[in-house]
Structure 1
Amino acid sequence: MMIKREKYLEEIRKVMGKQVIKVLLGMRRVGKSTLLLQIQEELLSQGVEKDQIISLNFEWLEFEPLKEYKTLYEYIESKKIEGKKTYVFLDEVQEVEGFEKVANSLNSKGDTEVFITGSNSKLLSGELATYLTGRFYTIEVLPLSYREVYEGFTNFDVGLSTKESVFLDYLKTGGMPGKFQFEEERTAKNYLMDMYQSILLRDIVKRYNVRDVDLLQRFMLYLIHNIGQIFSAITITNYLKSEGRKLSKETIYNHIEAAKSTYLVHGVPRYNIKGKELIKTNEKYFINDLGIRNLYFDNEKDIGQALENVVYLELRRRNYEIYVGKFDDKEVDFIAIDGDTTKYIQVTYLLAEESTIEREFSVLESIEDNFPKMVISMDRVNRSRNGIEHKNIIDFLLED
């Protein structure tokens, strides 16, 4: 079953017909290819003919000869029909060296609409961005949201019938679209493991010439185990040293950049709320999909971290600019900024103890500006106080 990614389709519709290259970026197997198919289906339903659509996936062996950019360009030009607009879809285009020349040339002629996908955030950085300045529109594609999973699967026989049971499964196994084709948990886990290893070996080891693969894997395990925790190079150096391994500070940050570039993890900078300035050290990291973390660690056991990760990804889906807040010696889980609006958000498992309630609310009560403040937890009882809203996490994830 194919879930319609309406949020992304709506964003793409806004730029359809505009003379910009549409770029979908995101982790491997996150659903970019499916989105391209859904765009093509919409075009066909609107009267575009099949021969006006050229669709190439560069992970498929049959398109291997087209990975040379001049050959690719000549192939596309030969398939165009005179007097008709052509729609070109280039999937996993980072496999083609010089692809930007093809995309730019096709786009500049005005008779071709170009859609590309890639699995590396650096795809349009540096010189490439300069080369294509003002000629592309980027959309980041994330795994399925809880809302997409709940609305897409609960009408089908998948053994999930309530909001809570769907959420607990989502918390444990994440939202990678491909895993939903498997009924058995073990098979779905094997699928996720293969995907994770593919990202490590193809997108990080091969692309970034990593020599010590075992050390990279140990480093990544440390990183995904400690999602939502303040990260420092010294801490991980000490951890690896205790295991009899060494990793330089430079290599640590290279590995982090590689993991971020493949969308495996996201870094969140810290912000001093009182001093109104960025803190340049000790970012927090969150994983792109909790199902990957659950391959090695128990998300239900680490439910506080997992809930924080879910909220982070949801804020990212909603296109917020996100920071971790520092207020004196206390921490605000997220500062979410959208234009002139700022939200302060705390995330916790349950507000069962008075000490927990005090900890989560008091830091928000100390912030004296008038921006919205919110505590998110799994409680069903509303504990809003002093103008600070308390929301159940499922209600938060299902809201428009």
Structure 2
Amino acid sequence: MPIVTPENILKLLYAYNPWWRDGSVPTEYSKPAKRFAYYEAVKMLQHTEIKRHVILSGARRVGKTTLLFQIVEMLLQQKVEAKNILYISFDHPLLKFCSMDEIMSIYQTNVSADDNYYLFFDEIQYAADWEMWLKVFYDTHPGWRIAATGSASPVLAQGASDSGVGRWSVIHVPTLSFYEYCELTGVSELPKLDNGLKPTALSGLKKPQLNTLMNRLMPLQKHFHRYLTVGGFPELALAKDDYYAQRMLREDVVDKVLKRDIPSLFSVRNAAVLEKVFLYLCFHSSNIINISAMSKELDNTPVVTVLNYIQFLARANLIYISNPVNMDGKKVLKAKPKIYIADAAIRNAVLMLDNVLLDPVEMGMMVETSIYKHLAAFYYRNRTNVGYYRKTSGTEKEIDIVVEFPAGKIITEVKYRENAEIRENDAIVEMANSEKEAIVAALVITKRPEDYGIMPHETKVPVMRVPAHAFLYLLGHAEKVGYLGLR
């Protein structure tokens, strides 16, 4: 008896699409809180003039599947015919035995003979020849609108660059921002903010305005501390047992990516070495990585293997790679990246760290990781370069995070400590006063809620101190305002 029959596929499709029976999405599938990527995906999927399929790429457990079901729910509310909305997860073993074309043929023959569909393909990287079929579907079925998800960016990005030019776009879904975390967990002290408020323009506020704003944001700091420890994975953020949440993070996110996703998708023969590379990066998160030294410490693993595995980890959404930015006319060495774990809680879970809130060194690493992640996520649609600056000639100086636009740069130094001193000769002060560098904002991220305001240094661009919880919440607010088109 054949494993795959139209009857078996049809049973699976009905199981995946309960709205075909009762016209609604089960409440456990769709959640009320919307991720920022939801608004971007809906806008792209329903654009009336420019047709694009949408691929959502992000780590496991960041809410990509929930996002698809939220779009399905929105379509049903818009009175789209329920049977014209198809959801499939290619993670199911049965679907490995048939092509996307065969599945669509069974669907069209037995469920809906219409040719105006909304198709939702979950974990599309497991579908054979997915990029070819998306190209065919785009070219031959103008009435099909497709949204897909995938946990492996390299495969998705390669498909987008090869076949998907002008046909589909990849939207990155990071872990929850602090703003999204506060909304999702139902924080009661959420302040009402002006839609025109920009976290990079706080230096333009008058002192009474700034005082009022920071007082409104002060109650969020205690929630920020939990956010750092449990991380930005929606299901785990809602869990009451933080210890259990960390265990699930190790097993459901990290282990499956290291032991299943990356080895199967990129033909990694030695998963044990891959795990060692990731563990090394966890220990050295937010630090500049010397690849040669790393190679020696990992039992002389070839440098090219280490570099390949770092790329795989980045494109599987477990780490961020921050490269040096060219500032002050100095040549930079691309070979020395700075590595950030994709979410501070991943590092906590993997290293099984306890009492991190009492360890100032660990807290500094966690906060810098979170600041980098937020800035990278906020500015990725602008195709900006988010890296770091390091001056090695003379006195060694560094700026933690540099957002580089064609017209200028935002420079950010993370000083998450009780006494965050910034001296006149520090790099951020020098660059804020530079005539050659087009600095548009200079920020020092601090710890204490009352540690804010313009620094006394005489600089061309004011150096602004902002508490970490306030900066990240304001950044998330600005992101949501941008997605909703409120400003």
- TM-score, normalization: structure 2? 0.74
**What are the within-5 Å matches in structure 2 for residues 334-373 of structure 1?**
334-338=401-405, 340-350=407-417, 352=419, 354=421, 359=426, 361-365=428-432, 367-368=434-435, 369-371=437-439, 372-373=441-442
> Paired residue for 1:69, among 72, 82, 100?
100
Number of the residue aligned with 2:138: 107
Residue range with higher mean Cα deviation, 123-132 or 38-47: 123-132
Using the alignment, how far apart are the partners of 1:3 and 1:12 within structure 2? 16
Number of the residue aligned with 2:454: 384
> Paired residue for 1:168, among 225, 241, 247?
225
* 1:272 match: secondary structure: coil
Q: CA deviation at 1:358?
A: 6.7
* 1:281 match: secondary structure: coil
Alignment partner of 1:90 is 2:160: no
The one-letter amino acid of 2:293's match is T
Q: CA deviation at 1:76?
A: 4.2
> Paired residue for 1:185, among 234, 242, 246?
242
Using the alignment, how far apart are the partners of 1:286 and 1:277 within structure 2? 23
Q: 1:3·1:148 contact (CA, 8 Å) conserved in 2?
A: no
The one-letter amino acid of 1:180's match is A
Number of the residue aligned with 1:311: 371
Alignment partner of 1:223 is 2:281: yes
Structure 1: 5+ residue runs without aligned partners? none
Q: 2:397·2:426 contact (CA, 8 Å) conserved in 1?
A: no
Greater Rg by CA:
2
Greater share of strand: 1
Q: 2:160·2:169 contact (CA, 8 Å) conserved in 1?
A: no
1:225-267 Cα deviation digits (max 9, x unpaired) = 1111111112213433xxxx33111111121111112111111
Q: 1:119·1:262 contact (CA, 8 Å) conserved in 2?
A: yes
Count of aligned positions: 391
Distance 1:131 1:76, change over 3 A: farther
Q: 1:272·1:279 contact (CA, 8 Å) conserved in 2?
A: no
Using the alignment, how far apart are the partners of 2:282 and 2:424 within structure 1? 28
* 2:288 match: secondary structure: coil
* 1:134 match: secondary structure: coil
> Paired residue for 2:345, among 270, 275, 291?
291
Q: 1:69·1:99 contact (CA, 8 Å) conserved in 2?
A: yes
**What are the within-5 Å matches in structure 2 for residues 189-338 of structure 1?**
189-195=246-252, 196-240=254-298, 245-275=299-329, 278-295=332-349, 296=351, 298=353, 299-300=356-357, 301=359, 302-320=362-380, 321=384, 322-327=386-391, 328=393, 329-338=396-405
Distance 1:326 1:367, change over 3 A: farther
* 1:282 match: secondary structure: coil
The one-letter amino acid of 1:187's match is Y
The one-letter amino acid of 1:106's match is F
1:257-305 Cα deviation digits (max 9, x unpaired) = 1111211111111023112655321011111122210021545431111
Q: 2:35·2:67 contact (CA, 8 Å) conserved in 1?
A: no
* 2:419 match: secondary structure: coil
Q: CA deviation at 1:164?
A: 1.8
Q: 2:179·2:473 contact (CA, 8 Å) conserved in 1?
A: yes
Using the alignment, how far apart are the partners of 1:97 and 1:349 within structure 2? 47
Q: CA deviation at 1:88?
A: 0.4
* 1:279 match: secondary structure: coil
Number of the residue aligned with 1:14: 43
1:60-93 Cα deviation digits (max 9, x unpaired) = 3454444x23323423443674556210000000
Measured on the aligned residues, the alpha-carbon RMSD in Å equals 2.5
**What are the within-5 Å matches in structure 2 for residues 16-165 of structure 1?**
16-17=46-47, 18-61=50-93, 63-66=95-98, 68-78=99-109, 81-82=112-113, 85-108=116-139, 109-126=141-158, 129-155=161-187, 162-165=219-222
Q: 1:85·1:111 contact (CA, 8 Å) conserved in 2?
A: yes
Alignment partner of 1:4 is 2:36: no
Equivalent pairs: percent with the same residue? 23
Distance 1:366 1:297, change over 3 A: farther
Using the alignment, how far apart are the partners of 2:165 and 2:66 within structure 1? 27
The one-letter amino acid of 2:340's match is F
The one-letter amino acid of 1:234's match is S
1:157-201 Cα deviation digits (max 9, x unpaired) = xxxx94122111111121112213532122212211112111100
Q: 2:58·2:151 contact (CA, 8 Å) conserved in 1?
A: yes
